Amino acid sequence: MSLKAPPAPSQPAANAAAAAAERHPSEREQAWQRDVLAPALEKSPERPAEFTTISGRPVQRLYTAADLPPDFDFERDVGFPGQPPYVRGIHPTMYRGRLWTMRQFSGFATPEQTNERYRYLLSQGQSGLSVAFDLPTLMGYDSDHAASEGEVGKCGVAIDSLEDMETLFRGIRLDQVTTSMTINSPAAPIWAMFLVAAERQGVAWRQLAGTLQNDILKEYIAQKEYIFPPGPSMRLVVDTIEFGARETPRFNPISISGYHIREAGSTALQELAFTLRDGMEYVEWALRRGLPVDAFAPRLSFFFNAHNDFFEEIAKYRAARKIWHRVMTERYGARDARSAMLRFHTQTAGVSLTAQQPYNNVARTAIQALAAVLGGTQSLHTNSLDEALALPTEHAATIALRTQQIIAHESGVANTVDPLGGSFFVEKLTLDMEQGAFAYFDRIDAMGGMVAAVEQGFPQREIADASYRYQQALEAKRKIMVGVNEFTAEEQPVPTLYIDESVREAQTAKLRALRARRDNGAVRRALDALKRAAAGDANVMGPLLESVRAYATLGEICDALREVFGTYEESALA
Amino acid sequence: MDRKIRVLVAKPGLDGHDRGAKVVARALRDAGMEVIYTGLRQTPEMIAAAALQEDVDCIGLSILSGAHNAIVPRLMELLRQHKLDDVLVVVGGIVPEEDAKALTASGVGAVFPPGSSLQAIIEFIQTHVRPAASLGAAPR
């Protein structure tokens, strides 16, 4: 019985041959090949392994100046940190000035329980908050909705109303921490709850710093937590960008995310290209709204994955900065330097972690985090060793945070800026990433932009194909996953966090009390005003804030929007 | 009777992470089975109805969110009501070991945790579907 998989593609070999043909080795290098390398290979041939990155990109034995273009000018093409095209980093001193923000994504069960975890993490030296919401919240359902059964508090914290949002940040001054919120389809109403919670703490919106994920395109592409069709969804995103430009100058209204694209199985290049092209799509929609590019572009932020392949990841981050600088200045005419400066958060690759021998995940995460730091990230989440089993225990979450602290304070890598700059291999990979991304941009532009490409299923197909190729490589052991398809062992399970159904009961009881206590007439009036705004072209943030203040629940708000916008279902392709 | 093993791959619950469901669907198809993929956010009722209508031999559920205890027992009950209790049900995803034991006790054929090989899933289905289906589905 066989898998009947198509034969392994010979593409890497063809690519390697093409790359070799472009090289112009010096006489000394040619002499080395002849006098040193050839006899060595004769005596002891290389391992029969496939020398490719985890994305399937062939890697040569050695990189030299011959691998860079003949007209490559390091000072012009790579330059200096804090200076265009920002390949070496966005700050001239990088981590000598300030370390990256250690921002652990966290949330589970009730707002009360998550609030406790936040206070613990802050007491352990974490420097920013990052809220994980449960699936009903991500999908705009209240905890007592039928669709929420079995899901409440499981993958994150349950937030049903302003009351829950206030509980979540009890005892944490919102002007003293920066707060990131991983929320997409219902990003606008959740942000409204956050803004009103800050208001109730006496914190001015202008003082708030943080990030809303709010990236709906990658939901259609990869994570699939969408509610409304693409058009109205994009309008909501632009509403938040417009509102933020006016009211919250220190808050990033969007975090354009490659993380989920990569987790869904894309290659490093696809992650880079689709994410940046998503960013360009948001820029174009905001420009069509009439916003001047420099009024909003400085607050666009990004979010990338840190996967296993160390150098490929570092090249990805360096290329991202260079490409964003080029498209923002050349394609969109940005003048403000900050508009063309790509700032990003990184999370290590959840998908790379294994349920088998889970303590090995500490090592994987450390290597991935190191790549993110060497790539110049602004903030970082390191996954816990129990990632493939459950939401993290406090012990596992602490080790993950300590991993970052070890990199920051013990490894020495934060002492100098872009230590891998000038490496022939890293510079060549960076150039290849840049070239590959622009080739994808051309294809997506030809389809009519990213919304059109998503509707045609293009990025979805590219990712599904890549993920199947990788799975086949694992099955055939062309790629090794330690403890999974090689070096396996029987072992004792690790303790994990278990969330039971009592969370749903607690949230349901709170909802019942809230609906009995609040002024339901005021709720109805606020939701009617929201529907009118949604049906017209007024910015919905105002009516959303009013609905939140009246204690309309997230489910009620999203139902009002569903009524106006309709819902979206993708055609099931597998 | 010579027919391929028919498998309904379903993604119940609110979660949208469909990488695993899609990879498994494709692998089963490459292994010669007929695969119907339901798409996202299927209720147990929708899954049971699809299983009946498509006359499948096996249902593969992908659940990563922890909602298995709400979803799987309900589906098993519906299958019994529809007299589909000879349909093999397998679950893939993140399921705590204690819960996995309870699921298999309730009639689920197997629970495949993260890191399971495609080959193991294929072989399990081929050797555990009801006899009528497996007869004509010898691997070629």
Is 80 exceeded by the pLDDT of residue A22?
Answer: no
Mean pLDDT (chain A) is 94
Is 70 exceeded by the pLDDT of residue A495?
Answer: yes
Residue scoring higher pLDDT (A17 or A111): A111
Q: Give the model's confidence band at A570: pLDDT under 50 very low, under 70 low, under 90 confident, else very high.
A: confident
Size of interface A-B (CB pairs under 8 A): 127
Is 60 exceeded by the pLDDT of residue A19?
Answer: no
Average pLDDT for residues A362-381, to the nearest whole number?
98
Q: What phi, psi does B8 have (nearest 5°)? A: -100, 115
Cα separation, A82 vs A480, in Å, equals 39
Q: Give the per-residue pLDDT at A3.
A: 39
Contact A574 B25 (CB under 8 A): yes
Answer positive or negative: Cα dihedral of A325, A327, A328, A331.
positive
Contact A223 B27 (CB under 8 A): no
Q: Among residues of chain A, what percentage have pLDDT more than 70?
A: 96
Contact B16 A150 (CB under 8 A): no
A18 with B134: CB under 8 angstroms? no
Q: Give the per-residue pLDDT at A538.
A: 95
Q: Give the per-residue pLDDT at A73.
A: 96
B12 with B63: CB under 8 angstroms? yes
Q: Give the per-residue pLDDT at A571.
A: 77
Average pLDDT for residues A42-63, to the nearest whole number?
95
Cα separation, B70 vs A81, in Å, equals 53
Domain ranges of chain A: 77-106+209-475
Which residues of A are less than 8 Å from B94 in CB distance? Answer: 355, 388-390
- pLDDT tens-digit profile of B65-102? 989 999 999 999 999 999 999 999 999 999 998 999 99
Q: Give the per-residue pLDDT at A574.
A: 59
A-facing residues of B in 63-92 (CB < 8 A) are: 65-71
Average pLDDT for residues A177-200, to the nearest whole number?
97
Six-digit token string for A194 = 């956050």
B137 touches chain A (CB under 8 A): no
Nearest CA in chain A to B120: A475
- Which one of A149, A219, A499 has the shortest CB-CB distance to B70? A149
Q: Which residues pair with A305 in a beta bridge?
A: A347
Contacts for B53 with CB less than 8 Å, ≥ 6 apart? none
Contact B115 A388 (CB under 8 A): yes
Q: Give the model's confidence band at B133: pLDDT under 50 very low, under 70 low, under 90 confident, else very high.
A: low
Q: Give the model's confidence band at A33: pLDDT under 50 very low, under 70 low, under 90 confident, else very high.
A: very high
- pLDDT tens-digit profile of A268-326? 999 999 999 999 999 999 999 999 999 999 999 999 999 999 999 999 999 999 999 99
Contact A265 B23 (CB under 8 A): yes
The CATH class of the B6-135 domain is alpha beta
Shortest Cα distance, chain B CAs vs residue A103, angstroms? 23
Nearest CA in chain B to A265: B19
- Which one of B19, B30, B94 has the shortest CB-CB distance to A467? B19
Query: To 5 degrees, how large is the angle CA A9–CA A11–CA A17?
Result: 145
Contact A574 B9 (CB under 8 A): yes
Shortest Cα distance, chain B CAs vs residue A219, angstroms? 9
Type of residue at A187:
A
- Which one of B22, B41, B94 has the shortest CB-CB distance to A574? B22
Contact B14 A148 (CB under 8 A): yes
Residue A10 CB neighbours (<10 A): 8
Which residues of A are less than 8 Å from B14 in CB distance? Answer: 135-136, 138-139, 141, 147-148, 151, 225
Is 60 exceeded by the pLDDT of residue A248?
Answer: yes
B101 touches chain A (CB under 8 A): no
Which residues of A are less than 8 Å from B18 in CB distance? Answer: 224, 264, 574
Average pLDDT for residues A126-149, to the nearest whole number?
95
Contacts for A54 with CB less than 8 Å, ≥ 6 apart? A268, A307, A308, A309, A312, A470, A479
Which residues of B are less than 8 Å from A136 in CB distance? Answer: 14
Q: Which residues pair with A302 in a beta bridge?
A: A256, A344
Is 60 exceeded by the pLDDT of residue A4?
Answer: no
Is 70 exceeded by the pLDDT of residue A7?
Answer: no
Cis preceding-peptide flag for A92 (omega within 30 of 0):
no
Q: Among residues of chain A, what percentage have pLDDT more than 90?
A: 90
Is 50 exceeded by the pLDDT of residue A2?
Answer: no
- pLDDT tens-digit profile of A249-282? 999 999 999 999 999 999 999 999 999 999 999 9
Mutating which of A133, A143, A145, A151 best tests the B interface, going by the most B Cβ atoms within 10 A?
A: A151
Q: Is A108 exposed, middle or buried (0-12, 13-18, 19+ CB in 10 A)?
A: buried
Contact A155 B27 (CB under 8 A): no
- Which one of A136, A141, A464 has the shortest CB-CB distance to B22? A464
Contact B26 A147 (CB under 8 A): no
Annotate B80-125 with three-state secondary structure. Answer: HHCCCCCCEEEEEECCCHHHHHHHHHCCCCEEECCCCCHHHHHHHH
- pLDDT tens-digit profile of A221-243? 999 999 999 999 999 999 999 99
Closest residue by Cα to residue A380 from A167, A95, A152: A95
Instruction: Among A128-137, A162-171, A493-502, B40-49, name the one with the lowest average pLDDT.
Output: A493-502
Shortest Cα distance, chain A CAs vs residue B86, angstroms? 25
A141 with A154: CB under 8 angstroms? no
Sheet strands (E) in A219-296: 251-252, 254-257
Instruction: Among A44-53, A426-435, B128-137, name the one with the lowest average pLDDT.
Output: B128-137
Q: Which residues pair with A343 in a beta bridge?
A: none
Q: Give the per-residue pLDDT at A15.
A: 52
Cα separation, B15 vs A570, in Å, equals 14
Contact A468 B23 (CB under 8 A): yes
This complex has an ipTM of 0.90
H helices, E strands: number in chain A: 23, 9
Q: What phi, psi does A249 have (nearest 5°)? A: -65, -15
Closest residue by Cα to residue B9 from B68, B48, B60, B49: B60
- Which one of A135, A226, A265 has the shortest CB-CB distance to B19? A265
Q: What is the DSSP string of A453-469?
A: HHHTTHHHHHHHHHHHH
CATH of A77-106+209-475, one of 3.20.20.240, 3.10.129.10, 2.60.40.10, 3.40.1780.10: 3.20.20.240
